[in-house]
Every structure is written in C-alpha cells, then in structure tokens.
Structure 1
Amino acid sequence: MTKHQQETVRAGDLDVGVLDGGDGVPLVLVHGGESDRTQFATLRARLGAGIRAISYDQRDSGITVNPSAPYTPAVLADDLVALLDALGLARAHLLGTSFGGAVAQHAALRHPDRVASLVLVATTPSYAMGSAAVDELLGMSHEERQEAAPGYFFTPEGQAAQRTRPVRTLTRRTPEQSLRRHDAARRHEIRDGLGEITAPTLIVHGTEDRLAPYDGALLMERRIPNAELRAIEGGRHGIAVEFADTVARWVREFLGVHGRG
C-alpha cells in the first residue's frame, strides 16, 4: 500500500494541503466548516484496502494558501475539481461531512462528470436548515468553541471516550479567515437543485444531530434521485469520528470495495 503523504499541491491558483494515501478507488474526503484535512484521521484508519483516501485543506484551512478575497460554496466546489485535475483524476468519489457535504453537493451539481458518487455525512442541503446552535458556535472564540463542541458532536459515551482519547476536530483560524469561512457557509442553499444531482448518493446521519437536524437528511433522501439514507440512532454531529467503524463499513459497501477493510 502506498504510504500516506503530507504535501502541498498546486491546484488552480491555490497551494492546497493534501493527505493522499492508499491504493484503489479515489475517495476525496471534504472536511467540515471548522476543521481541516486532519479531521479524517480516525475514519481514514478504518477505510482499509482498496481505497485511495485523499483529504485536503479548503480555503482558509490548514496549510492551504489562498487569496484573501471572499468566496462561495460554488468556488470551493470548483477548487475541489481543480485538485482532481492537479492529481490527474478524471473522476472521484466524494465524502463530505457537515459543510464539507455542502461543498460536495455543489461539486456534484456543477461538475457531474467528475463526481462518481457522493457520501453525505451529517450535512444539510441549506444553511437555513441548520439549527440556531450553528450561529451560536460560529460566534464563539476558538477556545469557547472547543469547549462547547463535544456536547454537539458526541453522545455521552462518545464524550467519555474523547476525554481518554481526544481527537482534534476543530482548527484555529485568524478572524479574517473565520469571517470568510462563515460567510461562505451562510451562502449554502441547494434545496431546489437536489433533484438535478445524478451521482449515486449515500446519506449518513445521526438522528440526534443538533447542528444539522435529521429533517435535512430526509429531504435529501426524497429529492436526490438515486439516494439512500442510513441512520445512526442517537448519533450527533460527529458521527464520522464516534461511529467511524460503522461509517467506514457503509462506505466500503457503497463503493463496492470488497475484501478486508
């Protein structure tokens, strides 16, 4: 198996931080609004053989270097496709969590020929469908957000596990970077376009997600033509971490990757 690599790749007008490892079908992991490419460490370790897992830093995240101009989810979707170009990938499967799921949805609409399938985890088709707690969290300092996040991300059992084996889920940004990120998140609205998504889609959602309520998952299942919803009973917003074994197994089944994970 190819060793995981950490590097910067020139993609369009950006220098993009990338973790690229494994052999097999290409799966691009699209991180959430307050995270970076390292968010997927737990999930990557469980995806197993037969998958080339590629996680990257979006604008104003991790080690990616980008212009200081504002941007939209559509721009982030185009950035993702520019990364595919830079990596020499004609098509790839996309797995997006939270706001990363929004970026993946926009990519599937704008570049349907480049998206082999979608896995949408703990995400929503519209910022307006998020709970009021999202605005509360975005208004906090990084330290306050770190303190509040576990209650939104993990079940009580998951929170206990975090205390003994903490996993970093949030990344630090400058105020200017945070402003651009939050503005982009608030521009996410794709409900009217869901019916035009042609990629086979797996939706994975916790029934007790207090940031991206379950109603959003039900709406995506109804409107995306070739969509399947799998629920994690009692799961909250951080299901890709707390229930990584389950999510990885479902992803492997969905991608048709057989054999040992």
Structure 2
Amino acid sequence: MSTVEVKSTRLAGGSLMPYAEAGSPEGAPVVFVHGLGDSWWTFEPLLRQLPATLHAYAPTQRGHGDADRPAEGYRPEDFARDLLQFLDAVGIGRAVLVGASSGGVAARMVAGSHPDRVAGLVLMGVPAALDDKPGAASLWESVQALRDPVPRPFVEDFLSGMVSRPVGRGFMATMTEEGLKLPAYVWQETVRGLLETDLAATLRGILVPTLVLWGDEDPYLPRADQQRILDTIFGSTLVVHEGSGHVLYWEQPERVVQDIAGFAGRVLPRAGAEGDGDGGARASG
C-alpha cells in the first residue's frame, strides 16, 4: 500500500495550494484533478493503491478543502491556470492528467492548450456538456439558495447520488466534511462558471492520447454524453465500468488504478509495463 504525504506549494499567483503525493519518485508523473465540492481526499482510495510505476500528485483546488479561498476566480479557465502553475511549482514538466467529474474540464483545457505539458489525458465521469443536463439546472437552483454556514444536509444530498455501490462510512464522512469547507460563494461561483462556459468547445483541439472512464450506472452522464467525447477527441478510448456510478474511482479503486497505470505505461513508456490491465469493457471513438 502506497504512503500518502500531504504537502503544500505557493502558486505563481500567490495562492496556497495543498496537495497529496504518493507513489515512487521514479514513477511516471500523474496529476489528479478533483471536481466541485471535493479536495485531494476524493483520490485517497486511488493513492493508496498506486503501483511503483506511478508518482501521483493530487492538488486541492482554490476555494476547496484547505486551499486559499480568493473572492473570485472560479471559472474553468481559472482552475486550468492554477493547474498549470501547480505543474510549474512542483517541477513537473510533462504528466498524465486525470480529471474527475467537473475537474476534467480544467484538465482537458490544459491538454488542449498546452499539449507539451500533457503526455495523456484521463477523464473519469466527466461531462461532455452540461447545457443538456436537467441535473445541472437543479444544482444551480440549489446552490443559489445557499447561505453560510452551508447546511450539512445539502452536502449529504449532493454526495448521495454519486455512487451505486456502498463505500466506507468513514470515507463518506470525510468527504462530507471536505464539502462543508466550501463557503456558499465558492459553490455558487464554481457552478456558475461551469454553466456559463461552452463545455463542448473545451473538447475541441485535444490531440494528446485520451482515455475515458465511465460507470454505466452514472445517473448524471448517459452513454450518449460520453460518446460525444469520443466523437470529438480523435483516437480517444472508452473503458466502461459495469455497475459503477458517477464516482467510479470510489467504488472500484483497484480497477481504476489499473486503467490509469496501463494508460500511463503506454503514453510515458518509462513507467514500464507493470499494471498494464484496463479492467473493463472497451469501445473506441
């Protein structure tokens, strides 16, 4: 089992960004990017399972967890800018980016605009678009009504539909506490930024190898949404995790780590062939 160290770095813009680090220093660099309401903790089940072929970093984005909470700057392009500054701050020249849920938007923006920094892109439960999702409109209505302190039932309801299989109570309690760290305005401005951004446009122009991971019990993202990613990103590949929900990496971390390790071994060959399984049904775009 891999040891997880929690560190922090100061970005060029001045913000403090905590991050978790795990795996072998000699392994291929993999940077995990979390979504709305999360922190580096969302990847803890994956970080504990890392093979020696990977060296993982999981930053906590602005406004989330224990990161700084500036008054503004919560659009996808702001998170993408922070991600690039994080790569610079910790000395990563080129990495595999693994974006989860809405965090995949920032990750794919970096992949599209700075392909020299991205060896490969993994999208885990990431929407192609939100303008066609009734759930996104419902979430916007809910966050608009938030006031500080953010009510615990709101966060619990937000998390309740994420999984289709039971996960540990202790882990879910941790994720609830992490969600409660976000002030109301961070919830509001992050959702506003996602809804006001043309997410479909952020899929265009991505030329790096791309792996799409999706749970077929995801209540928010239908297969057609993921197909839109495959149709837009040339050569992208889909791995379906049968029976998994939106955060498939909570439900089946061992399989997801195998997917990522195998992909990293192909796009960054120095990672070696260990852990080269993809563990799921496969379809190509």
- Report the TM-score when normalising by structure 2: 0.82
Q: Which amino acid aligns with 2:8?
A: T
Find the partner of 1:82 among 77, 81, 85: 85
Which secondary structure state, in structure 1, belongs to the residue aligned with residue 175 of structure 2? coil
Per-residue CA shift, 1:204-255, capped at 9, x if unaligned?
0112211233322111111101200011123211201101111111111111
CA spacing shift, 1:97–1:165, aligned 2, 3 Å: closer
Partner residue in 1 for 2:258: 249
Which secondary structure state, in structure 2, belongs to the residue aligned with residue 148 of structure 1? helix
Find the partner of 2:138 among 121, 136, 139: 136
Q: Is the deviation greater in 58-67 or in 196-205? A: 58-67
Find the partner of 2:44 among 41, 61, 70: 41
Shift of 1:71: 3.4
What are the within-5 Å matches in structure 2 for residues 98-109 of structure 1? Answer: 98-109=101-112
What are the within-5 Å matches in structure 2 for residues 1-150 of structure 1? Answer: 4-13=4-13, 14-23=15-24, 24-129=27-132, 131-137=133-139, 139=142, 142-149=151-158
Partner residue in 2 for 1:154: 163
Partner residue in 1 for 2:228: 219
Partner residue in 1 for 2:268: none
Equivalent pair of 1:117/1:200 in contact (CA under 8 Å)? yes
Equivalent pair of 1:206/1:214 in contact (CA under 8 Å)? no
Q: Which amino acid aligns with 2:95?
A: A
Equivalent pair of 1:202/1:227 in contact (CA under 8 Å)? yes
CA spacing shift, 1:56–1:164, aligned 2, 3 Å: closer
Distance of 1:70 and 1:146 partners within structure 2: 22
Distance of 1:166 and 1:175 partners within structure 2: 21
Q: Which amino acid aligns with 1:96?
A: G
Partner residue in 2 for 1:259: 274
Q: Does 1:231 align with 2:240?
A: yes
Distance of 1:247 and 1:2 partners within structure 2: 15
Q: Is the deviation greater in 165-174 or in 92-101? A: 165-174
Distance of 1:153 and 1:201 partners within structure 2: 23
Which secondary structure state, in structure 1, belongs to the residue aligned with residue 220 of structure 2? coil
Distance of 1:119 and 1:180 partners within structure 2: 25
Per-residue CA shift, 1:180-203, capped at 9, x if unaligned?
222222234232353410110000
Equivalent pair of 1:116/1:200 in contact (CA under 8 Å)? yes
CA spacing shift, 1:179–1:190, aligned 2, 3 Å: closer
Q: Which amino acid aligns with 2:17?
A: V
CA spacing shift, 1:16–1:151, aligned 2, 3 Å: closer
Equivalent pair of 1:28/1:94 in contact (CA under 8 Å)? yes
Which secondary structure state, in structure 2, belongs to the residue aligned with residue 192 of structure 1? helix
Which secondary structure state, in structure 1, belongs to the residue aligned with residue 36 of structure 2? coil
Equivalent pair of 2:74/2:186 in contact (CA under 8 Å)? no
CA spacing shift, 1:30–1:142, aligned 2, 3 Å: farther
Which secondary structure state, in structure 2, belongs to the residue aligned with residue 205 of structure 1? strand
* Overall identity of the aligned pairs, in %: 26
Aligned length: 257
Q: Is the deviation greater in 37-46 or in 188-197? A: 188-197
Structure 1 vs Structure 2 CA RMSD = 2.3
CA spacing shift, 1:225–1:2, aligned 2, 3 Å: same
Equivalent pair of 1:33/1:185 in contact (CA under 8 Å)? no
Find the partner of 1:186 among 191, 195, 201: 195
Q: Which amino acid aligns with 2:262?
A: E
Equivalent pair of 2:2/2:50 in contact (CA under 8 Å)? no
CA spacing shift, 1:203–1:137, aligned 2, 3 Å: same
Find the partner of 1:168 among 139, 163, 174: 174
